[in-house]
Structure 1
Amino acid sequence: MTPANQLPANQPPAIEVSDVVVRYGEVVALDGVSLSVASGRVTGLVGMNGSGKSTLFKAIMGTVRPDTGTVLIDGTAPVAARKQGLVGYVPQSEDVDWAFPVSVRDVVMMGRYGRQGLTRRARHVDHAAVAEALERVELTGYADRQIGQLSGGQRKRAFVARGIAQDARILLLDEPFAGVDKRSEATIVRLLRELADDGRTVLVSTHDLHALPRLADEAVLLLHRVLFHGGVAEALRPDNLAHAFGLDVLDRDLDRGSDRDRDRDFDREGSA
């Protein structure tokens, strides 16, 4: 088996980030980040708030230009990859205007815009793709509801459906489990595993360490730079998590407590 942080010699990375530095004024958000992610894998991106996760997503999407370094998506520059519909994005809830008067179906149809030309006129194939995506995320019965009327988990599933309808080869999800119910969490995990099995690449930013083992093939620990990239079990070792969450010394209670208690403590630290 190929190690989680190594790619087969004959397979180019789906996402390749090389020595990327991003600054906001005097603040260094990313400091020499290098990362390669293969196709057909789910990668969990773990780090506390302010560690650079959202900035890394923006660099991969091409909405933030690195001060130095390069990003390639399937060998293509991010802006070009986005225009080709190669990359789909599921944002954090606070980044969306839930009062905007669009239906769930409209949100999912947005994933088809890049295939509709300048007229943005939906064809039979577009409607079929939207219907299939809604069925996969179990939202067919909610298609005509205004997007803000959905629960938190349903909203996340709607944006996953948009990426499915888009037929994006790479999906970026920013905190998809924040504020979602258990059913939606299980549905999203199942969908992402299915998409990876279909050969798509999934990069998930998350504080939910409980979901990580059943979700991800590998994990990246980020604190302005990549501290670790490899297997999930090793990423979740207390010493590795301590470095990722900026702790110099582990609380002794973590070693004595259960795995669930340990993960909950780190979730709380990451949400601070």
Structure 2
Amino acid sequence: MPTPEVSQPVPALDIAGLTVRYGPVVALDDVSMTVHSGRICGLIGMNGSGKSTLFKSIMGLARPTAGRVTIAGHTIAQARARGLVSYVPQAENVDWEFPISVREVAMTGRYGRQNLFRRITSRDRTAVDDALDRVGLTDLADRQIGRLSGGQRKRAFVARGIAQGAEILLLDEPFAGVDKRSEATIIDLLRELTAAGRTVLISTHDLSTLPSFASEAVLLMQRVLVHDTPEEALRPENLALAFGVDVTGRDAEVNR
């Protein structure tokens, strides 16, 4: 009898041949990568390497010239409609003086699951309370968002993604400008989420801490140079390709 085929799990994120241009500028060039559920994938590269464009492409905010993005087996539009993916950009476009509380910011993550009239249900309140507890902001839930520190603000927007119930979290430089307590809180939370089967794609410039929390890493310079363990991605010869210098300080040719 023929051996029955074993079905492979659907990847959380599957990108094939993704190319994005801004006029004559190539932001992403034939990017292909696959990330499976329950993984933390670190995204590293110098400024201008395409990290933010990759996040925007996954969210459907940047139009590709070529290629495709599949999220948990769905198109981008389907995944967003189902609330499967949440994005925390590097810099939130927020009026910090606007009278909105931390709880209300987190509640915006529930909008996709509410009816046309945005009627808040007990399930919404429970999801928000749980998210705020997990990021350590319960005591500050009623504080105006602009009165938080940089690290607390970042945690508030991570809470929004958790409250949404997204299976895939995209975090663009969540450690930039945050205090060590907030960084540790976010890292512990990401570990909890991935242990429960969620998936995280996170960009960071803090290369020293990457191996302590990431399952894998992608080294990006318009295209994928390395997709392997954090230790392999951080080998000096690989970093030289992405950052243009090696550990001895000598210039290295950047593979574009």
Superposed pair shares fold, TM > 0.5: yes
Give the structure with the larger helix fraction: 1
TM-superposed CA distance for 1:94, in Å, is: 5.3
Pairing 1:211–2:180 present: no
Q: Distance in 2 between matches of 1:176 and 1:147?
A: 17
| Aligned match of 2:254 | none
Tell me the amino acid that sits aligned with residue 159 of structure 2: A
SS in 2 for 1:45: strand
The 3 A distance-change label for structure 1 pair 239 and 60 is: same
Q: Distance in 1 between matches of 2:96 and 2:74?
A: 33
Tell me the amino acid that sits aligned with residue 11 of structure 1: P
User: Number of residue pairs matched?
Assistant: 245
Q: Return the match for 1:149 from 137, 140, 147.
A: 147
Asked whether the equivalents of residues 236 and 247 of structure 2 are also in contact (C-alpha less than 8 Å), the reply is no
Unaligned runs of 5+ in 2: 1-5, 251-256
Q: Distance in 1 between matches of 2:143 and 2:89?
A: 20
TM-superposed CA distance for 1:84, in Å, is: 1.2
TM-superposed CA distance for 1:92, in Å, is: 1.3
Tell me the amino acid that sits aligned with residue 65 of structure 1: R
SS in 2 for 1:93: coil
TM-superposed CA distance for 1:96, in Å, is: 3.4
Asked whether the equivalents of residues 110 and 124 of structure 2 are also in contact (C-alpha less than 8 Å), the reply is yes
Mapping for residues 67-82 of structure 1, pairs under 5 Å? 67-82=65-80
Tell me the amino acid that sits aligned with residue 241 of structure 2: H
| Aligned match of 1:252 | 248
The 3 A distance-change label for structure 1 pair 164 and 17 is: same
Tell me the amino acid that sits aligned with residue 97 of structure 2: A
TM-superposed CA distance for 1:210, in Å, is: 1.9
TM-superposed CA distance for 1:149, in Å, is: 1.0
Q: Distance in 2 between matches of 1:177 and 1:114?
A: 27
TM-superposed CA distance for 1:199, in Å, is: 0.2
TM-score, scaled to structure 1: 0.87
Q: In terms of mean alpha carbon deviation, does 93-102 or 139-148 score higher?
A: 93-102
> Stretches of 4+ moved more than 6 A in 1?
none
Tell me the amino acid that sits aligned with residue 236 of structure 2: P
Q: Return the match for 2:64 from 33, 43, 66.
A: 66
Q: Distance in 2 between matches of 1:251 and 1:40?
A: 33
Unaligned runs of 5+ in 1: 1-7, 255-272
| Aligned match of 2:198 | 200
TM-score, scaled to structure 2: 0.92
| Aligned match of 2:98 | 100
| Aligned match of 1:48 | 46
What is the percentage of aligned positions where both structures have the same residue? Answer: 65
Q: In terms of mean alpha carbon deviation, does 88-97 or 75-84 score higher?
A: 88-97
Q: Distance in 1 between matches of 2:214 and 2:197?
A: 14
TM-superposed CA distance for 1:165, in Å, is: 0.8
The 3 A distance-change label for structure 1 pair 95 and 49 is: farther
TM-superposed CA distance for 1:9, in Å, is: 6.4
TM-superposed CA distance for 1:82, in Å, is: 1.1
| Aligned match of 2:253 | none
Mapping for residues 1-150 of structure 1, pairs under 5 Å? 10-93=8-91, 95-150=93-148
Tell me the amino acid that sits aligned with residue 51 of structure 1: S
Q: Distance in 2 between matches of 1:94 and 1:75?
A: 28
Tell me the amino acid that sits aligned with residue 252 of structure 1: T
